[in-house]
Amino acid sequence: MDKEKLRKIVERNRRRTMFQNCMKVVVCVLVTLVLVTVGWKAAEPFAKKGGISTDDKTLPVIQVQAGTNTQADGSGDASKELIPDDKSPVNEIPGWQADGNGWWYAADSKTLYSNGWLTIDGQRYHFGSSGYMDTGWTPIGGKGYYFQDNGIYDPNRDPKKVIALTFDDGPGPYTNTLLDILQQNHVKATFFMQGVNVKRYGADTIPRMVQLGCMLGNHSYDHPDLLAAGPEVAKQQIDQTDQLIAQYNNGAGADVIRFPYGKFTKEMSQATGRSCWFWDLDTRDWETKNTDATISAVLDHVNGGDIILLHDIHETTVAACQTIIPELINRGYDLVTVRELAASRGYETEAGVTYYGFTDRDLTKDTVTDKNR
């Protein structure tokens, strides 16, 4: 092979090697950019939670104001507690942390804030005794406070304009239509269900109730007079219905109890191990079975703090809710579960206690619960 041909081969191989090396560099750069982008997208929610804007050129310093006026009932400033073993910071310290149970705030590598108020970047938050940030209606020191989904305290929410719609005897063939109405209006309700109807309609309705943030209640298996039937029958009826509800509620039974016909004793309610619920506005929709009458029964008599009794097994009742729910919202009412209603008035619900209503009248007369009855 002559020297000229050899020189050309060497030059061609050199150019090929150089091209391959350049392509490797380009690929490495592209892969790095992709990894950085993906990593930032994954961290972005946490950055935003801590007050960091992705549009900022620099990351602002988070200002945390913690006082020293701590109170056992959580009404004072948040205190620093050791981070328990089941929590571990996943973000920058100090700063917001999150796990499957909610948001919490690491004061440093060993402690978190809990059981009180904390001001972060000028916004007020409240943390429970377990260290998690509170959302929704929360009872603190005997008063109700409302926190947005992001945990920021909202002083404009009026605890006197909160009511609970409760539906007995279902689920039924019209319950999904009612759930559509609740979903469209972004409100919640409490469903006190009969086991016999859970068998028929539970699979299609209970998961939706849970998804919408509604509360599940036990109303016996087939609605007998449990006061007359006795404690053994009452336990059997409630246990049987809990087992049926649990099939569609990740293995858990009902959160709350309502006895058929409102007939029970304190001993019976205590035996349930859960809070029990009466009502203070009876629409008698089961009797009239008339849409206009049900609408009037609610809108002409409603007061803040009411627990309203309705029945989702009646088509006329569900039709009435098409009018009732938007109008209540238009009047400034907040439609929540029974437990949230209690929280809006500063009550931590207790097992074995029966609650009748949270209107100003109930509060003045001390008839909210059966403790003094």
Question: Over the stretch 191-243, which tens digit does the pLDDT of each residue have?
Answer: 999 999 999 999 999 999 999 999 999 999 999 999 999 999 999 999 999 99
Q: Which amino acid is at 320?
A: A
Range(s) of the chain covered by CATH 2.10.270.10: 79-154
| pLDDT score of 79 | 97
DSSP 370: S
* Catalytic-residue membership of 186: no
Q: What percent of the chain has pLDDT over 70?
A: 84
End-to-end Cα spacing for the chain: 114
* Tokens 């209540």 belong to residue: 328
The residue-averaged pLDDT of 109-117 equals 98
Residue 232, token pair as written in the block: 């053994």
Query: Residue 165's closest CA among 252, 261, 282?
Result: 282
| pLDDT score of 54 | 35
- Cα–Cα dist 264/14, whole Å: 94
Task: Say whether pLDDT at 44 is over 60.
Answer: no
- 3-state DSSP assignment of residue 24: helix
Q: How confident is the model at residue 61 (pLDDT cuts 50, 70, 90)?
A: low
| pLDDT score of 19 | 56
Residue 10, token pair as written in the block: 């060497």
- Given the residues 77, 126, 134, 168, select the one marked as catalytic: 168
Range(s) of the chain covered by CATH 3.20.20.370: 162-365
151 conformational bin, left if phi > 0, alpha if psi -120 to 50, beta if neither: left
Q: How confident is the model at residue 269 (pLDDT cuts 50, 70, 90)?
A: very high
Q: How confident is the model at residue 10 (pLDDT cuts 50, 70, 90)?
A: very low
Residue 149, token pair as written in the block: 């989904």
Query: Residue 346's closest CA among 334, 333, 358, 329?
Result: 358
Q: How confident is the model at residue 161 (pLDDT cuts 50, 70, 90)?
A: very high
Choose which CATH entry (2.40.50.140, 3.20.20.370, 3.30.70.270, 3.30.420.480) describes domain 162-365. Answer: 3.20.20.370
- Long-range contacts made by residues 74-78, C-beta under 8 angstroms, separation at least 24? 74/115, 74/116, 74/126, 74/128, 74/129, 74/140, 74/141, 75/116, 75/140, 75/141, 76/116, 76/117, 77/116, 77/117, 77/118, 78/113, 78/114, 78/115, 78/116, 78/117, 78/118, 78/126, 78/127
- Cα–Cα dist 281/301, whole Å: 8
- pLDDT tens digits, one per residue of 308-366: 999 999 999 999 999 999 999 999 999 999 999 999 999 999 999 999 999 999 999 99
DSSP 59: P
Task: Say whether pLDDT at 155 is over 80.
Answer: yes
- pLDDT tens digits, one per residue of 285-297: 999 999 999 999 9
Query: Residue 64's closest CA among 10, 122, 17?
Result: 122
Superfamily of domain 79-154 in the CATH hierarchy: Cholin Binding (2.10.270.10)
DSSP 123: E
Phi, psi of 22 (to 5 degrees): -65, -40
- Cα–Cα dist 11/4, whole Å: 11
Residue 123, token pair as written in the block: 């916004």
Peptide bond into 171 cis (omega under 30): yes
Average pLDDT across the chain, whole number = 89
What secondary structure does DSSP assign to 278-344, as a single string?
--SEE--HHHH--HHHHHHHHHTT--TT-EEEEETT-HHHHHHHHHHHHHHHHTT-EEE-HHHHHHH
* Cα–Cα–Cα angle for 4, 6, 7, rounded to 5 degrees: 65
CB 333 within 8 A of CB 162: yes
- Given the residues 126, 219, 311, 314, select the one marked as catalytic: 311
Task: Say whether pLDDT at 24 is over 80.
Answer: no
Task: Say whether pLDDT at 48 is over 60.
Answer: no
* Catalytic-residue membership of 56: no
| pLDDT score of 372 | 86
- Cα–Cα dist 47/53, whole Å: 7
| pLDDT score of 12 | 56
Q: Which of 39-53, 78-92, 298-312 has the lowest mean pLDDT?
A: 39-53
User: Which helix (DSSP H) or strand (DSSP E) does residue 163 occupy?
Assistant: strand 162-168
- 3-state DSSP assignment of residue 144: strand
